[in-house]
Amino acid sequence: MSTYLVGDIHGCYKELRTLLNKVDFNPQNDTLWLTGDLVSRGPNSLNVLRYIKSIDHCVKLVLGNHDLNLLSIYAGINNAKPKYNLTKLLKSEDIDDLINWLRCKPLIQIDEQKKIIMSHAGITPQWNLKTAKKCASEIEKILSSDMYSSFLSSIYGNMPNNWSEELKGLARLRFITNAFTRMRYCFNNGQLEMFSKNIIESSNMPIKPWFDIKNKISDDYTIIFGHWSALKGKGTPKNIIGLDTGCCWGGNLTLLHWEEKKYWSTK
């Protein structure tokens, strides 16, 4: 039995199957972890969702910002821009089943035995593990309810950017969603900085990648994330691993065999 962790797929179905064939992935015995952003940009989001749903029993996935965008498009909140490449998926005969399956997925996955934590963008330095689990549960509960479209219509925006247990209502839900699915940089005090995307080299800048700020998660855990393809999986601390290597941008799709600590990739 093996544990495989794969970075953002973004509709690159052929590359996903090629990568899984390379490691002889067996859905009857192995476990497949996915960092989110299953859909959008790549050529075949429909087959990605169909395949992952068909092996749901052995999959541990988290939702990414593009997965939430798909849910928002389906709910009539956002427009399906051509660059998202979602027309075939949205017109599919099983779109309702796929959406209802997807919106019941979590924002965080934790394996206490293997000491793995996975979320799409990472874990904000302002949270400990207990808070992260509690916050993820709040979003998961509303996404899987009949209120999910009302929630999705209110999550877009960059504020508030500072965590407090006193946050209530939509402001609280928006912060949680941004922290799990959109975060890249933080100010030194841990507040989210939601505008910068490029790699910033200067050590004199008032912001840092979230993983370069001391967090409140025990060093016993390894944090796995995706989302930030510009990193190309490099530059993170020892116990933090970025797996998005930009397949949909012409880079690679990357897989980590957890037990062997061995990386595999396909162009």
pLDDT tens profile 20-70: 999 999 999 999 999 999 999 999 999 999 999 999 999 999 999 999 999
- The pTM for the full model equals 0.96
d(CA 263, CA 149): 38
Find the angle CA(94)-CA(119)-CA(106) to the nearest 5 degrees. 45
What's the pLDDT at 118?
98
Structural contact between residues 241 and 256, judged by C-beta atoms closer than 8 angstroms: yes
Residue 200: CA count within 13 A, CB half-sphere: 17
Domain hosting 126: range is 3-266
d(CA 44, CA 17): 12
Q: Label residue 202 by pLDDT band (50, 70, 90).
A: low
Rg (CA), the chain: 17
Q: Label residue 198 by pLDDT band (50, 70, 90).
A: confident
Number of Cβ atoms within 10 Å of the Cβ of 84: 22
Instruction: Specify the number of domains making up the chain.
Output: 1
Q: Tokens 């910033």 — which residue?
A: 200
In 3D space, the residue among 253, 259, 218 whose CA is nearest the CA of residue 35 turns out to be 253
For the four alpha carbons of 12, 71, 106 and 119, in that order, the dihedral sign comes to positive
Chain segment 133-146, per-residue pLDDT in tens? 999 999 999 999 99
d(CA 29, CA 12): 24
Give mean pLDDT, residues 218-245.
95
Amino acid at position 186, single letter? C
Cα–Cα separations (whole angstroms), residue 242 to 51, 85, 236, 258: 24, 25, 7, 14
Residue 179 token pair:
């922290």
d(CA 209, CA 199): 9
Residue 85 DSSP class: -
| CATH code for the domain in which residue 232 is found | 3.60.21.10
Query: Is residue 267 predicted with pLDDT exceeding 70?
Result: yes
d(CA 264, CA 256): 6
Per the prediction, the chain carries an average pLDDT of: 95
Could you tell me which residues are beta bridge partners of residue 263?
256
